[in-house]
Amino acid sequence: MSNRIQIYHDALLQKGGAEQVAGQWATAFNSDLNVLAKTKTYSSDSNFSTKVIFPWIRTQRTLELIYPFLPFMYPFIKSKTNQIRLVSTTGIAHQLPGRWEKRVLYIHSPARWIWDKESFDINRRQIEIVLANILRPFFKFYDRRSIRRTDVLLVNSNATRLKVSEAYSRDSAVIFPPVVSKSSTLKKIDLPSNFSKFFLHVGRVRGYKGLEFLLEAFNSAEYKLVMVGESTENFNTDSILGLGYVNPSELRWLYENAEALVAVSREDFGLTPVEASSHGCPTIAFRHLGYLDSIQDGISGKFVIPNDLQDFHLALSRHRKSSFSEQAMQEFARQFSLDLHIEKLRSYL
State the pTM of this model: 0.86
Q: What pLDDT is attached to residue 215?
A: 85
Q: What pLDDT is attached to residue 122?
A: 67
Domain match, 123 and 235 both: no
* Lowest-pLDDT range of 102-106, 202-206, 217-221: 202-206
Q: What pLDDT is attached to residue 46?
A: 66
Average pLDDT over residues 218-230: 85
Domain match, 119 and 212 both: no
DSSP 87: E
Average pLDDT over residues 34-45: 78
Q: What pLDDT is attached to residue 43?
A: 59
Q: What pLDDT is attached to residue 283?
A: 96
What percentage of the chain has pLDDT greater than the value 90?
54
Domain match, 213 and 112 both: no
**9 located within any domain:** yes
52, 23 Cβ separation under 8 angstroms: no
* Better-predicted residue by pLDDT, 124 or 338: 338
Domain match, 145 and 211 both: no
**183 located within any domain:** no
Q: What pLDDT is attached to residue 80?
A: 76
List C-alpha distances in Å: 292 to 21, 176, 206, 269, 285.
20, 12, 21, 8, 9
pLDDT for residue 45 is more than 60: no
Average pLDDT over residues 304-330: 93
Domain match, 224 and 264 both: yes
Domain match, 118 and 208 both: no
Residue 11's CB is within 10 A of a number of other CB atoms, namely: 26
* Better-predicted residue by pLDDT, 180 or 289: 289
Count of domains forming the chain:
2
- Helices 326-333, 271-278: crossing angle, 10 deg rounding: 130
Q: Which tens digits make up the pLDDT trace of 135-154?
A: 889 999 999 999 999 999 99
* Better-predicted residue by pLDDT, 9 or 193: 9
Q: What pLDDT is attached to residue 208?
A: 57
What average pLDDT is seen over the chain? 88
Calculated CA dihedral for residues 271, 274, 280, 282, nearest 10 degrees: 90
**137 located within any domain:** yes
The phi and psi torsions of 6 (rounded to 5 degrees) equal -110, 130
Average pLDDT over residues 230-257: 87
pLDDT for residue 291 is more than 60: yes
Average pLDDT over residues 114-143: 84
Give the domain extent around 227: 193-336
Q: Which tens digits make up the pLDDT trace of 149-205?
A: 999 999 999 999 999 999 999 999 999 999 887 667 888 888 888 888 999 999 876
d(CA 152, CA 143): 16
